[in-house]
Each structure stands twice: as C-alpha cells, then as structure tokens.
Structure 1
C-alpha cells in the first residue's frame, strides 16, 4: 500500500511534536489516557448552515467540521498527507482506481461502526447531496466495498487532487445511521474528537463541543471543550480576542495592530492572491481584451509594492503569477514577470491599436473599495479606463458563470495545482466563464491530469502559459493574519486561512 509522502513517519513525528507542545504542569500536561482539561474558544467568520458532512465547505468553514468528523486522510500543517480513518492507500497504474485500507475499531458517536460500508455510504451521500464541494468527487464513478475494511474508488478519469479532497470535505465521515436525516443538520454525528453540547450551542451565536471519551486517537484531542463563536464582523472579532472572549481568530493588517498592542501573537501564512481576472480573453464582449498586448499592458501598469503597502500595510508579497508558492506549480522567474513600467504599458497599447479605447467594467467588491480605487488610478495613468459597477451579491457565482463580468477584482485560493487549474484555468473552471483555451494549453492541462506524482511540476507549464498570455493581473499574495493569545500554541495550516482543529494545543 502507498502511504502519503513519509506518511507513517510524519504521523509519528507530528504526534510526538504535538505532545511536546502541549506538555506542561498540572491539568494541561500531556495525558495519553484522556484530553486536557483546558478549554479552547475560537472566533469564526461564518455560521455553519448544516452539520451534514456532505454540506461541509473548505477554507474558513472546514475547521468546525473537524471537531465532529474525522476525515479519511489527515493533512498535516505542511500539507503532507497522513493516515486517519484510512491507514494506507494506493492507485492502480493508470491512476483510475484508488484503494483505501480502513482503520478498524472505530465507532461513531451514536455507537455505529466505521467500516467499508460506512465509508461507501458517506462517499455516495456526498456525491448525491448537492453540497458546496460536490465537485470534489466528480471524477469518482462509483465506490466498491472490497471487504470489511477496504474500499475502491473507481474514477472516470485521473484526478491528481483526489487524495487532497479526501483530507477535506469529501473525506469527512458521518454515521451511516444519521446521514440524510433532518437531525444531522443541527447536530453532527461523527467519529471525531469532540461531540456537540446541544444545551450550550446557540444557533447563529456559538457551537460548543466536548471531548469524546472513547475517541480512538487521544493525541489529536487537546482540549476538554472547544467553542466556536460566530463573529462575522471584523471589529467584533478583534474586541472578542483582545477582551479574552476567544483565544484565536482571523483579523486583517489594520485590526492586527490592535491585537499586537494587546500582546496577541500572530500565526501568519499566505493562502490567496488578489488582483484582476481578465476573463474575456477571446474578446467576446470586450474586444480589446482579445489582444495579449492589452492584457500585458494592464499587468505592467501596476506598482504592486506600492499598492500592497497602501492597502494592506505591506502584509503580503508582490507577484505576477496566480499559482502559490506551496502548490508545486510556482515558478520563481515568474514572480516579477511584469515589473511596474507605465511607459512599456503605453507602448504595448499603442502597438495593439488600443491607446485610448480600453475600458474595463468591474463589479464592486464590498470591503475592497480602497484596492479598486488604487487600481483604477494606476490604470488611468496608462490610458485605461476602469468603471466600477454594482456590488457583487449572493448571486455572484451564477453571475460569473453567466459571463456577466468580463473582468473583476477578486481574491482567489492558491491551492494544489489540479485544484487551482479547475478553479481558474480549465474550461470547467468557474473563473474561466468564457471557456477560453487553446490546443497548446489543453495539452499542458491534460499532462497534469495524467501526471500522477509529477502533477505539480507539470503544472508549472500551465502557470507559465497563463502568465505569459496574461490571463490575469495578480498583484500580491496576501498574508492571513491569524492571531491568538498566550494560553495556546497555534501552528498555521498550509493553504488555509485558519488552522486545522488539530493544530492547537494548550501552551506550556
């Protein structure tokens, strides 16, 4: 069986490291026989609408699900995949069948047994439930039970991101007795380290969990109680952290200054990039965007460092590429592919015959008015007009898919290469609504799909292509400002704005 890279060793090292991190005197010392007596309170940015694991989301919203639900694979802070409910896994030679050996002796909080039938029930339910991440299992045609602790995932086509997805929403395992019921929408039933305290949980306010006494992996169970306080307002999150109502939460560069003044500690990493999405590359609705020289001129118009300093107090890294540094598709020489050069931008526009007629129509993005205003000014300096329309709404996703926007300023996830390709580049991608492609690009995408362990390196060619063709105008990768007090230790999670629930421990 194939373990994730150094999976077994990583699992041992991580458990040992967490134990050392958590050790200390009194009740907070490491206790293999049971969880710590300490409590953890986290400020979250969004309420959970349904606790059905098939309705789980990713990013900010995955963390609360991890309290109640184990996943098939465990994603370590550095992105390494380790065993969780699946102890080993391997692909066939064609990468169209993934076989998973499952952990035995695990039960759900309602007493049901975790086994191959339960795993199949969850994966089947996920595919049918129309959840926000249902696309994670698009390539899976069916799930077959081999024996009591083995399943096979049969794929219609290779999916280099499938193992990653099995550590995310698609891999969350709920009790087969509860799947599809009304009850699981308000009370999760999983095999995870914590169970919901219904009496203390208040809808749209807080979700409270207590340590499950018979949990199979005490090394992942650091606290006796975990509370998720819903704090959608940034100021409310800041005040809650500074006043001690929560131990950790996500802030921004400006509110981070207040947190630092209160001696809060920063656990930062880069997850997203911000910039312009030049969506209509074939000029279907905005003819000048068809010319690569126009798109390149837009890229040369931006003084990325100045914009970053002005709007995010320098909290980020200027970049010209949409693929993140940890994705495997990042290419060092692309980082400054389009240096600030307004004269070159003007020359490119003149050469393309579009000196004064390039107009970009952007939707307004609440909270990013300052970014868009600076972008508008710098484009104007090279002769490009930017008009800002109405704000994006709750129909935003369908509006993008319907080609309502030919350009937009946005922030996008820099995930695993195949995840990113299917988010922003492929003809299936939401953020490629005009289905732009070329035979050359499609060949590069096909190579990634069939690349197996070489997918990341092969994705560098996709990255080079979209950067040279100026499909986007990235400005910078953004530092995620996650602050916590000195009562806990926090390890950032690669490619997540907030850490996984396993990355917290009581401080020594």
Structure 2
C-alpha cells in the first residue's frame, strides 16, 4: 500500500505536515509539581459532568475520578473487585445481592448507605429519567433494600455483563443531596464517593478537583498522590499541543500521531501510545430519518460508500500505532464480536462508481458529512475518498456534544464519529446503541432490533453468539454502519509525571504522581 494514493490526498499531506515543535528550548516548569497540581487538557466540553447524562468519553473520564460504583474493574486484569460493595452473589440468573461497605462518606461528609444505591438504580432504570445512553441500563428492572447494609438488584433478563456495567457506567448518587438540589443543581455542584471531589464545574471552561482525604480505606482507586487537578476544555488539537509544548498544560491525549516524534524530542516531555476499545465509524441514514430523499436509503449507495474508502490506508497511515480495521460493527475482543460472520467489502473505487450508477447516481450527488473526529485530517481523508467516486461530501466539523444532539434528533444523513463501548468487553455495549431502535439507530431495521434483543435476553453463550452472528451478518449485508478503524490513544505529558496507561481508554489521574 502506498502513501501516495490519490484519494487519500490532502488528509495524509496535512497530517504529515502538521504543527512542528517549537525551535527554542523551554525550561521545564517546576511550579505545578511543587504545587502538587496536574493540569489536564480535553478537546471537547462536557455540558453535564454527571456520567448518566452525557455519552462522551471525556465525561466518563471526568466522572471516574470523582465517583465510585458498587464494584470496580481492575485496569490491568479486568477482574471485578469490591468498591462500594464488599461482597456480591448471584441469587439466580436475573438477581444480584450486594453487601455494602460501611464507613464510606460522600464528599459533603454524609454517610453512604443502601438508600443511595436503591435511589440511583431505580432512577436511572426509569425511562422518564432520559439518561444519555439508555442501552446501558435497559436490562435493569430495579433495586430494593434488603437490610441495613444490603441491596438486591433485579434484572429484566439475564445479563452476563451486569458487573461490568455496574463497574464502569453506574456511579452511585447521594440520595438526600440530589433530591435537595435537583438534577440541575447536582450537575453544577456534584458530589460522589471517589478519590477526588469537584471544587469547580464550568460547562464552558472545564472542571477542577481536590483530593478527597476521607476516601474510604481499601478503596480500589487508592489515595491519590497529586492533591489538585485542573481540566481545561481546549477546542482544537493544534492549540492543545501548543499549550503542552509551552508547558501551560501537563497532560493531553488523542494528539495527532504525527506529532509524537516532535513531542519526544522535547527534553521535558514524553509521548506514548496505547490501542483502545474505541471504534471509528460512519453511520449512514438507511432509515431516511434525515429526509426521505436521502441517497443513503438506497442499499447500493451504502455499499458504494463501503467500497469507496480505503480503511486500511487510514488505519495504517493516519491513525498508526497498530490501528486495525474491524470487519464487524464492534471491537474484536468483545464477546459476540465474530468477524467471521461479517460480509467483507474491499477497497474498490471502480465498484463503488458502478454501484452508484446502478442506483441512479452516475453523476454522483452532494451530501453533508458531519464529524467531530480529530485530527481533522482523518475526516478529510474520508471526504476525499468519497469525492473520488462521485459522492461530493461537504464536511461539517462540529463539537462532540453538538453533533450528538443533532444525531439523536435524526438530522444526519452521514455522520463520522467514534464509540468506546464505555470500555465494556461485550457487544451489548455497542450494537444496541446503533441497532436497537434508539436515538442513534439510523437503520431502524425490525430484524436487527429482534436479533439484538435476542442476544441480550439470555445468559446462554451459544444462543447469544448465534443471535449476534446473525445481527453482524445483516448489519454488514445491508451496509448500515461502517467500522473505519480502531483508535490508538496518543498521550503527551510532562516527563516528570509518572502516568500509567491502560487499554480500556480510561485515564486514571488518581494513579498519577510527580517524580
């Protein structure tokens, strides 16, 4: 494969010629280390830091530092370990019993107990609560208090990945405080039981934390070494990198891979990479939600899109770092993600043009391509591939939250984005979000909905595999949702910072320390 493929064009050229490192040496800053503060940069603003009410990876990361769930997933072994619950057992295939930890405090000093757990679970399981990702909680029937220090969780159906969901996407609210201040008040001044507590929440500029010195003993996240965190929202990759090089921030991630060498040339910085469970995608409006005349409602047009894009070139030349092209609409390690069940589409621009002609678009057509993906060269590469076969994609680069809102309203004919499955290693964390009839489903295929429901309604692994295999085959036959590549997270941070990385795309600042 050659880097000079014409369709890749400007995307590769722009990536290769990106922002250069400054030509002057900047003396390493000591102030933040001595102040025991870590300055973080995120590219997307989070309108609501409560993890239940945003579906952004940045929101999950922000919440993870301040909230705990009943259980915790060890980032190295993926083993489920105690957190707010010290013990649990399956009473039957749809019932989990938990013994709660005693002596835990919320950030306001109030005592954690079973009422908080029952309130949280029953609230998020209620469809009227309108959580951001309903598929994460659709399996829950409800919870009840079974003793002074115990609760029972009821499920609508057997859910083998229940403990993973509880570990990663079910932090526990303080019942009394949240009822007193209301959902809006809670989003502005949230509290949890995690190792850091919020000291400032600003939806436009960022958040600040302080170490919570009353974090419970034996807590799985431990007592943080760094006392304060400041997280700023910076809107674009170039500015973010400039801030790192100028030592106005200490940590960034998802930087342009072409800048890794530049960062590593700086004596006071380091860069590292780690493949994650995130999958980049194109979601095509097969259901016609954005308009009945949308060309994406035509199967041959969608198949032309799949043949038009050289995904392998994008993964290898732009993303790099071992990025792969998934054949199925899921991450390869997830249970149920059988790539052998997928229909494969080779890069074949001639076939793409022929399919467009058969569909009645011999002269191509104009269409909006929305994307929040950074670096922008990745979106531009997709745009160039589409234009090379006659699909004149007009690229509209948006902020993450704004595109998500438009997508959920059904306004997008073709959207480019990414999904990290909340780091849950089961296809139930990705496929229902795009194929089960919810706000992000642009297929609205009754057979897909039936298969997804069948796969998520039993603990029988063979039944689940058969259902998900059939769903994968249908999704790819119908060319609904095009997996582009896996993500490889690129981190840049101060060399004086000790910062471990993990494959679940969940930075843990409570494990960081200044050397």
Q: TM tier, shorter chain? A: 0.7 to 0.9
Structure 1 residue 102 displacement after superposition: 1.8
Matches of residues 145-294 of structure 1 in structure 2 within 5 Å?
Answer: 145-159=145-159, 161-169=161-169, 171-182=170-181, 184-197=186-199, 204-213=205-214, 215-217=216-218, 220-233=222-235, 234-250=237-253, 251-262=255-266, 263-280=269-286, 285-286=292-293, 289=296, 292-294=299-301
Matched with 2:144 is 144
Is the Cα–Cα contact under 8 Å of residues 305 and 386 in structure 2 kept in the other structure?
yes
Matched with 2:430 is 420
SS at match of 1:62: helix
SS at match of 1:177: helix
SS at match of 1:167: helix
Is the Cα–Cα contact under 8 Å of residues 135 and 429 in structure 2 kept in the other structure?
no
- Over 3 Å counting, the alpha-carbon distance change for 1:139 and 1:287 in structure 2 is same
Is the Cα–Cα contact under 8 Å of residues 66 and 197 in structure 2 kept in the other structure?
yes
Matches of residues 41-440 of structure 1 in structure 2 within 5 Å?
Answer: 41-46=39-44, 49=47, 55=53, 59-78=57-76, 79-93=78-92, 95-126=93-124, 127=126, 130-133=130-133, 136-159=136-159, 161-169=161-169, 171-182=170-181, 184-197=186-199, 204-213=205-214, 215-217=216-218, 220-233=222-235, 234-250=237-253, 251-262=255-266, 263-280=269-286, 285-286=292-293, 289=296, 292-308=299-315, 311-312=318-319, 316-333=323-340, 337-348=344-355, 352=358, 354=360, 356=362, 359=365, 361-365=367-371, 370-382=377-389, 384-388=390-394, 396-397=403-404, 399-414=406-421, 416-428=426-438, 430-438=439-447
Structure 1 residue 342 displacement after superposition: 2.8
Structure 1 residue 311 displacement after superposition: 4.6
Is the Cα–Cα contact under 8 Å of residues 300 and 344 in structure 1 kept in the other structure?
yes
Matched with 1:500 is 508
Q: Calculate the aligned-residue CA RMSD, in Å.
A: 3.8
Matched with 2:29 is none
Length-normalised TM-score, structure 2: 0.76
Is the Cα–Cα contact under 8 Å of residues 342 and 473 in structure 2 kept in the other structure?
no
SS at match of 1:132: coil
Cα distance in 2 between the residues matched to 1:45 and 1:390 = 17
Is the Cα–Cα contact under 8 Å of residues 402 and 433 in structure 1 kept in the other structure?
no
Matched with 2:458 is 451
- Over 3 Å counting, the alpha-carbon distance change for 1:43 and 1:360 in structure 2 is same
Structure 1 residue 418 displacement after superposition: 0.8
Is the Cα–Cα contact under 8 Å of residues 68 and 196 in structure 1 kept in the other structure?
yes
Structure 1 residue 85 displacement after superposition: 1.0
Consecutive unaligned residues in structure 1, runs of 5 or more: 1-36
Cα distance in 1 between the residues matched to 2:296 and 2:203 = 50
Deviations 1:414-455 (A, max 9, x none): 553112112112223x332351232xx445323311232738
Cα distance in 2 between the residues matched to 1:408 and 1:47 = 19
SS at match of 2:178: coil
Cα distance in 1 between the residues matched to 2:48 and 2:314 = 39
Is the Cα–Cα contact under 8 Å of residues 45 and 203 in structure 2 kept in the other structure?
no
Cα distance in 1 between the residues matched to 2:388 and 2:329 = 24
- Over 3 Å counting, the alpha-carbon distance change for 1:107 and 1:470 in structure 2 is same
Count of residue pairs brought into register by the alignment: 463
